[in-house]
Structure 1
Amino acid sequence: MVRKQLAALAASVAALLLPLSGTAQDKAAPALTLTRLDCGTVRVNQLNAFSDTLAYTGQSRDLSVGCYLIRHGETLMLWDFGLPVSLKNAELSREGAMSASMTRTIVEQLGELGIDAADIGYVAVSHFHFDHIGQLADFPKAKLLIGKGDWDVLTSPDKPASVNASPFAAWIDGGAPVEPVSGDKDVFGDGRVVMLNMPGHTPGHHALLVRLSETGTVLLSGDQAHFQENYDRNGVPTFNTDRADTLASFDRFKGLADNLGATVIIQHEPRDVAKLPPFPKAAE
């Protein structure tokens, strides 16, 4: 057990340190780009759902839903899968706790880029909540990368009724490859795209580090935070699975952001959309 833990720690350290040696700047390295896809809007009418200290009594706001296409040479990877297609052109409402809508599917946006769903080699999810897995099932042959803690919940016969495993059917049934990620995961082995272990929101929640040659280091938050004020306050949503883990992950996420001089993109923060080029352009 100790040897396995040391090996996992060494792999995480290697993933974060490798670009510092100059590997990421090697002119022979595959080209790397990051494109934001619009995966909808969530209207939150009771914002205190995102604060277990009731910091937002009486407040509401619209949150963006971002998905991301990563090109690593000839290999294509998607990070997060937005809202389900059933919510396309749904009406946003001021009634109830929240509502959600989307205007274009991931497949439609990929089509504008000349990409077919079958071209996607990797599908990676920050966590298993509905607004991050809604269109995952449209890519049933790609290799799935998911936090082990989340995978364990999805495949448990005792999973909570609130956890929807149906988008993962192709992988749970064995029809497509899956890699449950225990710690950090250097996706392509060159330190430029790294899944970062950030548990707390869910047991296997991850963020994503992307090191681009021109834009610099980008940190995609997953749901470490949902909007800027909650990021600033280290806010903990009422539905997170572990408060202590959430706060520890905030400490790590912000430490990495500061030490790497990273551009932080809070995936649900509309004000962060402009930090990346508008679709169909890509950050390089």
Structure 2
Amino acid sequence: MAPKRIALLLAGPAFLLAACQSMWQSSSAPGRNAGVERLYILNCGEGVAGDISRWSPGVNVGKSMDFVDSCYLIKHREGWLLWDTGVADAIAAMPDGQRPADPRATHWRRPKTLAAQLQQLGVKPSDIKYVALSHSHPDHSGNLAMFPRSMLLVQKAEYDWPTTSGPRFQPGLPVTPIEGDHDVFGDGSVTLVATAGHTPGHQSLLVKLPKTGAVLLSGDAVHFKDNWDNRRVPDINFNKEQTAASMQRLADIMAKEKSQLWINHDKAQRDGQRLSPGFYE
């Protein structure tokens, strides 16, 4: 047998092994082959929290803080997902915004409507396949009625949470009540993460982007970075023990996935982020 032919035969298995290793590394890299294409950060409200000790008991008493309210639009190859809907678009028409009954709470304004931001991207409400809510508070669910044909993804504990004034969610809307974690598209790229505590059925969202990597969207599991760094639990939360456990769960996921934590209401963090029509890949 010719020396050249022997060399080719010997090189064959090594070449195949190297190719297989390359394919495995490519497929196992975070978000490399996932179906997520883009993530947009939408301005879903600007506000001033009157007394942030509501969220950090015994600390910063009487101190106000600028808050933001972000929504996130995710383009997946199987459809659009909107994470939270922000404060109601109707607030944009209020000259002085929406003043809270409790002066310690947040005075919200709406400089940009959700409808206008979607229109700027060429996305109609009917294009949204899924609307997933971190929880049912009005600064996160204020525009839910805009999406009557989208499938609502919400924790069953949140959906069933009773109120004194009727149903928490509009009857007749398509809904998938989730119990625990949920892989939205079935490919591991977008996962609802159960983080109860702020409300009975609060959830966060883990998104694995092809270039940016993993991003964990907090919802209200944490309200601003100082509270996260010091693991402070708001007095106003539904369950303090569950909140503390959920904060630890987020930390564990961040360590495992090497993910960033994007805190919904943290203005300092959001001011350094790329807002729509910019996007993350």
Q: Same fold (TM over 0.5)?
A: yes
Counterpart of 2:83 in structure 1 is 79
> CA offset at residue 142 of structure 1?
0.3
Q: Residues 115-153 of structure 1: CA distance to partner in whole angstroms, max 9, x if unpaired?
A: 111111100000011100011110111000001111011
Match of 1:62 among 38, 62, 66: 66
Q: Residues 249-273 of structure 1: CA distance to partner in whole angstroms, max 9, x if unpaired?
A: 0111011112221111001001221
Q: How does 1:138-177 map to 2 (within 5 A)?
A: 138-153=146-161, 156=162, 159-161=163-165, 165=168, 168-169=169-170, 172=171, 174=172, 176-177=173-174
Q: How does 1:30-69 map to 2 (within 5 A)?
A: 30-51=35-56, 53-69=57-73
Q: Which amino acid aligns with 2:85?
A: F
Contact 1:31–1:71 (CA under 8 A) maintained in structure 2:
yes
Match of 2:178 among 177, 181, 191: 181
Q: Whole-Å Cα distance in 2 between the matches of residues 216 and 87 of structure 1?
A: 34
Q: Whole-Å Cα distance in 2 between the matches of residues 74 and 274 of structure 1?
A: 30
Match of 2:128 among 89, 113, 120: 120
> CA offset at residue 282 of structure 1?
1.2
> CA offset at residue 54 of structure 1?
1.6
Q: Whole-Å Cα distance in 2 between the matches of residues 257 and 83 of structure 1?
A: 28
Q: Whole-Å Cα distance in 2 between the matches of residues 76 and 54 of structure 1?
A: 42
Q: Residues 46-102 of structure 1: CA distance to partner in whole angstroms, max 9, x if unpaired?
A: 111112x32121211011000010000150110001001231154267992231110
Counterpart of 1:14 in structure 2 is none
How many pairs are equivalent? 252
Structure 1: gaps spanning 5 or more residues: 1-18
Q: Whole-Å Cα distance in 1 between the matches of residues 29 and 262 of structure 2?
A: 25
Q: Given the superposition, is the C-alpha separation of residues 269 and 104 from structure 1 closer, same or farther in structure 2, using an over 3 Å criterion?
A: same
Q: Given the superposition, is the C-alpha separation of residues 24 and 61 from structure 1 closer, same or farther in structure 2, using an over 3 Å criterion?
A: closer
Let me know the Cα RMSD of the aligned residues: 2.2
Q: Whole-Å Cα distance in 2 between the matches of residues 54 and 137 of structure 1?
A: 38
Q: Which amino acid aligns with 2:194?
A: N
Contact 2:30–2:209 (CA under 8 A) maintained in structure 1:
no
Contact 1:130–1:164 (CA under 8 A) maintained in structure 2:
no
1:213 aligns with 2:195: no
Q: Which amino acid aligns with 1:278?
A: L
Q: Given the superposition, is the C-alpha separation of residues 164 and 231 from structure 1 closer, same or farther in structure 2, using an over 3 Å criterion?
A: farther
Contact 1:89–1:101 (CA under 8 A) maintained in structure 2:
no
Structure 2: gaps spanning 5 or more residues: 1-25
Q: Whole-Å Cα distance in 2 between the matches of residues 74 and 180 of structure 1?
A: 20
Counterpart of 2:21 in structure 1 is none
Contact 2:78–2:185 (CA under 8 A) maintained in structure 1:
no
Instruction: Report SS of the residue matched to 1:88.
Output: helix
Structure-2-length-normalised TM-score = 0.84
Counterpart of 1:13 in structure 2 is none
Q: Which amino acid aligns with 1:185?
A: H
> CA offset at residue 274 of structure 1?
4.5
